Structure 1
Amino acid sequence: MSWHLYLLSFILIIAGIFHLIKPKAFMRIMPLYLPYRKTLVYLSGLLEITLGILLITMEFKIYVLWCIILLLILFFPVHVHMIINKKAGLNLPKSVLIFRFFLQFILIYWVYQYL
C-alpha cells in the first residue's frame, strides 16, 4: 500500500477523533438548516475513523475510497456555509475559507487516483 493511503488514513482518523472530542467546534461550522447537528458531527467523526481504519485494511479498498469521495462531497455545504456566514467562518480570512473549499476538489482528486 502506498504511503499516501496511510497518510489519508491518518488524516481521516485524526479528523474523526477531533469530531468526537470537540463536537462544539464542528457544530459551529455546520449550516443551521441541518437537523440533529450534534448527532451529525458524531456520526461523521465515527464514519471518518471507520473509513480511515478500513482504508488501512485494504479489504474493501474500492468501496472505502468511494465512501471517502462521497463524504468529501457531503462536506461541501459546510465549506460554503463557512464562506458566507462570518460566525461559521471562525474569523478566518475569506481567502483561507475559499482555499479550503477548493481543497475539497484536490482531496477528491487525490482519493480518486487510487480507484
Structure 2
Amino acid sequence: MKTSGVFFLRGRPCSSLINSRTSEQLHGWVLSLGERTSARGVACFTAIWPGPEADRFMKEHPQLRAGDCLSLDLDRLHATGNELRGFVTRCELAPPRWPEPPHTEGAERAVGTTAAHAPQSSAGPIH
C-alpha cells in the first residue's frame, strides 16, 4: 500500500541500522510522524528511510525537530505490533507556513462586519 501527503515530525529523526530484505544491515533513519486526521485527532506512525539519499537529506537539514513538516511518499505500509509503519520513497521539506488562500482577507472582513452588527442581549451589557 502507498500513500503521500504532508506529515509532521513528532521528534527528531533517529539514525539506525535497518535490516534489509537480504538480511544485511543498512544505515537509515527512523521518523516518528503524525498526521492530523480531524480537528482533534492525530494518527501516529513510523517511517523508515534507508540509504544514501536519506543520509544526504539529513546532512542538508540537521535542524529537523518535532513539529517540522515533511512532504512524503510512503510505500509498503503495514501494521506491526499495533503500529503503522512505512518506507519513505520521496521526502521534501514542507514550507514553514502554507500561504493564505486569496479569499481569507474578505472572510475576515465579513466576520468583523457580522460581529459588529450582532444583536445585543436583552439582559443588557455584562460588567
TM (norm. structure 1) is: 0.30
Between Structure 1 and Structure 2, the one with more helix by share is 1
Between Structure 1 and Structure 2, the one with more strand by share is 2
The structure whose RCO (Cα within 8 Å, separation 6+) is larger is 1
